Structure 1
Amino acid sequence: MTGNKTIQHIKILTGIACSLGVLILLWKLPDMLESTQSSRLLTVVEPCDLKQSDCKAKYDKKSISLNVSPSFIPSMAPLTFTVVLDNIQAKTVILELKGKEMFMGINKVQLSPLPDGITWKGTTELAVCVTGSMVWLASVLTYTDSTTEPHKATFEFESP
């Protein structure tokens, strides 16, 4: 009988320890997620109007700048996007374009590095919005390798 009671006590203690571990994880998880995500998410520096000049997003000493040409940003015409990285080493840079309020299809472009090692370029087009002007989100994602989360900066702009 004492063997069964010992096993019961071990099961109870194991259950309490697991429950305590889950509670601690649930309590600390938001802080853990926030600290890893905030170090990778760059905040846009205001004012930001891609039709007027480059836009920049920063976090600590890291920054991502975005430029588009032509600056009036027409739909259904080639657009060249230029990204400049500061204190971010990247092997791959992706530009994702999405409609802010309407799904406009998938538009992802892998940018090509220039010889300076900090500038990346790529060309794509915007779909035509039948309702008139469209607000777009341009997200720049920088990858150092396939195992780490990318640095990300999202810029908003309008196109006719």
Structure 2
Amino acid sequence: MFSLPSAEAPGIASNCDLNNQSCTVHMGEVSLTLDIQPRPVRSMAPLNYRVSIVGARASNVIISLQGSEMYMGINQTPLTAVESKPGDFSGQGELAVCTTGDMLWRLTVSAETAAGPLNTWFEFRAK
């Protein structure tokens, strides 16, 4: 099973800012790259998600978003395999607006692989 429970665990992209670049997590022989467009990430605007998984054949890739500082409801986006790029998945979503104007979000990427579930997460701020 590929799972990274905390930002201090090896492989978490804790120093990577999704508002400036794509972020990659390495889990043994598997790497997962997440990209969100457009940048910077904003609430109530269409967002394009792209996940690339190298080193494992993945399926059923889902992005889940939750507010780290307050409950913002259930926000899940199933991603679709990109036929022309094996290991790449894409989808669209939107962040709920936060009444405080700025929100710390936790984005979890979950996928199924032959070796078991793959789960990792990223944190980022959005206005």
How many residues align structurally?
120
Structure 1 letter corresponding to 2:60: T
Q: CA RMSD, aligned part only? A: 1.5
Q: How far 1:45 sits from its partner (Å)?
A: 3.3
The residue number in structure 1 matching 2:96 is 127
Distance 1:74 1:58, change over 3 A: same
The residue number in structure 2 matching 1:64 is 32
The residue number in structure 1 matching 2:109 is 140
The residue number in structure 2 matching 1:41 is 3
Q: Which moved more, 1:76-85 or 1:46-55?
A: 46-55
Q: How far 1:149 sits from its partner (Å)?
A: 4.6
The residue number in structure 2 matching 1:52 is 20
**What 5-or-longer segments of structure 1 have no aligned partner?**
1-38
8 A Cα contact 1:93 1:142, kept in partner: yes
Alpha-carbon distance in 2 for matches of 1:158, 1:46: 13
Structure 1 letter corresponding to 2:51: V
The residue number in structure 1 matching 2:44 is 76
Given the two structures, how large is their TM-score scaled by the length of structure 1? 0.71
The runs of at least 4 consecutive aligned structure 1 residues that moved more than 4 Å come to none
Alpha-carbon distance in 1 for matches of 2:55, 2:111: 12
Given the two structures, how large is their TM-score scaled by the length of structure 2? 0.88
**What 5-or-longer segments of structure 2 have no aligned partner?**
5-10
Q: How far 1:132 sits from its partner (Å)?
A: 1.5
State which of 98, 109, 112 in structure 1 corresponds to 2:80.
Answer: 112
Q: Percent identity?
A: 35
8 A Cα contact 1:44 1:55, kept in partner: no
- Per-residue CA deviation, residues 19-74 of structure 1 (Å, 9 max, x unaligned), is xxxxxxxxxxxxxxxxxxxx411431352100111111111111111000011111
